[in-house]
Structure 1
């Protein structure tokens, strides 16, 4: 037991102080974002909207994320990651609080879109900050530490949210969300202000290549967009499935979502450290994560036993904790070819696009064809994403061969 504990602690060694502070700020921020997994339920039950209207609002969520991610990349390259991160945290906190006072379908579309434009400028800026604060050999584990903070927040958040909804309603969630974002902004100012924080590495390519001419990165982008299309179902369509088909309460749904976050919190860092010792490429690890996620949807159709829900979440959790750190590390490594903000913006946009189409498709498909067909379709999309990564691996091998033979 002592040996296992020692190995677990060793998986955290070597990370910079700034990465730890960035993780704490992320934890404070994400603990409060408990309304997000329940947004589809809030819109249907509290606001009385139809499934098709919810799908459109969630598409506005995705469009705002696309615009915010693109804008965040541009601003990061122009004014630096710190200013972008602080502004995003502070002003998204204000918008979170304001969102609860918006009624009506059109107003909610505009409110959710505006919130995500501001909130998601944070994402590419964070990745560039993480690259600056991490040594190259520690990047994958640094990403895992940030994800651990995110999942610890999501582990506590949904469980607490289920209790709050049943005791005092949805309004309190918006106040907590907004307050946590503002608190995270002030933590950033106190501990990661440029005058106090020291970057361990700042790399600026003197001859940057445009991300828009990087074919392998675009294949990677397409694969991640399709994977995200599947993954984000766990934040909208899957909770509805739990509630409508499995007849689970908000409290039980919160516990289930919290369980997946807890698994990631416990296992991701040692798992990533263990996998880094393998001779596999980063893309090979990402493919493993894609395969596990595909199975997480497939098992939902393998019978009515409620345990299948838990098995699906466990498979998803392990797929996520493998796919995301290694895909993120691949993107940061590739970003050294050009402007880092531009590259990392495209990486985050791959997930933002999923929010545009995935939620709307998931709710539409469930309403039109039922849950069984919907989960089969999602599984098929995961398989296509897996095949795209095989193509990416071929392109990277060809690229490596051309470099080795060039004079």
Structure 2
């Protein structure tokens, strides 16, 4: 492919998206540039503090438990209070709790504050996803979700490599840098992003029942997607809880892990946009089946790794699964979510990842301590196979553009509200409060 073709592809990939999306994208990028703690928590507890892999798994699971609890509440707040205030509350709480965690020395205190960090850091996800669905047209959403995931990994590519160097100097510095960057995100949301929550008209209220959490849990196909999301995230979580512990057990340093896992971020930065252009209009069922198999067997190959280079090679395999799975699955979730219940639906979807974050560390710590890492990687291969079969069964008969017609009358109103919010900020001498 020529340079001119690459430039044209890049322009087409980023064109046509609203300004508010790019501010949201920038906030995501800043947040991930400072994401040190989650990446190196396991190494911090095992190598720096001298705790066992089981204790490190317990702390990470408490972090995940906090996310499970907050995801549902944050989804409700996103629908009731709004996207913007929910994000600001979550980000400011995250900044405070992450900074506090860096000064904890008692094992009980570390576990307790890690739980608070999990609650705060996970609370912004339903709001971010709901706002993105609000402000981006249905036909552009897969591209928007892909670009947002690209921003996550662009930041991760730099933060993971930088965090390895920071960890060699001071883990506490990593906690403080992440807290500062998260606070910057809250300021950016306050200054640049208007509220995007669609308001229901009286006619819509009379025609459609109010979306509750019970509505979400009774939606059989959607809950099937949530369950499969849990299996996939349980696999991917091992890259950040099982893999660093396994590499540490094999005698590799935090810098070695940083170099290996940075391949994940770099590969997504390089391939996310061209791969998304290739898969954008292809069969979602096939994409989800193939990505599930790549994820499971990519981690399964880790059982044969004995050097940083081989670890990096296995990371390449399951990273390709991430590149395909993330925008495809997120787009499916939005398609199955009613417009006026996006916060709750996104909250339940986020919960699947939070439950996986709760279980994965316990799973990896127990299996590695009792049986060895090879059994953990074999379990990942089995989970990937089960997930691929589940997608094959679940996606049969799903309309290609489900729920798009239902949204058509709402999108114009949302865009008008966003534009009005931007104009109000331009005319106002000071930013409006949340």
| Fold in common (TM above 0.5) | yes
- 8 Å contact 1:230–1:381 — kept in the other structure? yes
| d(CA) in 2 for partners of 1:303, 1:354 | 25
Q: Which is further off, 250-259 or 92-101?
A: 250-259
- 8 Å contact 2:297–2:384 — kept in the other structure? no
- 8 Å contact 1:219–1:392 — kept in the other structure? yes
Which residue is equivalent to 1:100? 102
- 8 Å contact 1:286–1:324 — kept in the other structure? no
- 8 Å contact 1:301–1:372 — kept in the other structure? yes
State the secondary structure of the residue aligned to 1:33.
coil
| d(CA) in 2 for partners of 1:171, 1:348 | 29
- 8 Å contact 1:148–1:265 — kept in the other structure? yes
Structure 1 pair 393/187, CA: closer, same or farther in 2 (3 Å)? same
Shift of 1:305: 5.7
Shift of 1:203: 7.6
Structure 2 length-normalised TM: 0.86
Is 1:225 matched up with 2:230?
Answer: yes
Shift of 1:300: 1.7
State the secondary structure of the residue aligned to 1:335.
coil
Q: Which is further off, 40-49 or 75-84?
A: 40-49
Which residue is equivalent to 2:54? 52
Q: CA RMSD in A?
A: 2.0
- 8 Å contact 2:221–2:394 — kept in the other structure? yes
State the secondary structure of the residue aligned to 1:248.
coil
In structure 1, stretches of 5+ residues that fail to align are 401-407
Shift of 1:252: 2.3
Shift of 1:395: 5.9
| d(CA) in 1 for partners of 2:243, 2:36 | 16
| d(CA) in 1 for partners of 2:351, 2:127 | 13
Q: Of the candidates 373, 376, 389, which is equivalent to residue 375 of structure 2?
A: 373
Which residue is equivalent to 2:183? 182
State the secondary structure of the residue aligned to 1:15.
coil
- 8 Å contact 1:225–1:350 — kept in the other structure? yes
Which residue is equivalent to 1:404? none
Q: State how 1:253-268 maps to structure 2 within 5 Å.
A: 253-268=257-272
Task: State the aligned residue count.
Answer: 391
State the secondary structure of the residue aligned to 1:11.
helix
| d(CA) in 2 for partners of 1:14, 1:86 | 27
Shift of 1:372: 1.3
Q: Which is further off, 308-317 or 227-236?
A: 308-317
1:340-376 alpha-carbon deviations (Å, 9 max, x no partner) = 1110011111100001111111111011111111110
Which residue is equivalent to 2:242? 237
Which residue is equivalent to 1:169? 170
Which residue is equivalent to 1:71? 73
Structure 1 pair 341/60, CA: closer, same or farther in 2 (3 Å)? same
Q: State how 1:255-404 maps to structure 2 within 5 Å.
A: 255-278=259-282, 280=283, 282-302=284-304, 304=306, 306-336=308-338, 339-394=341-396, 396=398
Q: Which is further off, 4-13 or 121-130?
A: 4-13
Which residue is equivalent to 1:120? 122
Structure 1 length-normalised TM: 0.91
Q: State how 1:17-166 maps to structure 2 within 5 Å.
A: 17-166=19-168
| d(CA) in 2 for partners of 1:393, 1:188 | 36
State the secondary structure of the residue aligned to 1:396.
coil
- 8 Å contact 2:294–2:384 — kept in the other structure? no
Q: Which is further off, 23-32 or 337-346?
A: 337-346
| d(CA) in 2 for partners of 1:347, 1:284 | 21
- 8 Å contact 1:296–1:311 — kept in the other structure? no
| d(CA) in 2 for partners of 1:125, 1:286 | 25
Shift of 1:47: 2.3
Shift of 1:386: 1.4
Which residue is equivalent to 2:252? 248
Structure 1 pair 349/395, CA: closer, same or farther in 2 (3 Å)? farther
Shift of 1:396: 3.1
| d(CA) in 1 for partners of 2:342, 2:199 | 9
Q: Which is further off, 367-376 or 306-315?
A: 306-315
State the secondary structure of the residue aligned to 2:108.
helix
- 8 Å contact 1:299–1:311 — kept in the other structure? no
| d(CA) in 2 for partners of 1:203, 1:270 | 36
Structure 1 pair 379/338, CA: closer, same or farther in 2 (3 Å)? farther
| d(CA) in 1 for partners of 2:194, 2:6 | 36
Shift of 1:388: 1.4
1:116-138 alpha-carbon deviations (Å, 9 max, x no partner) = 11221100000111011100001
Shift of 1:71: 1.2
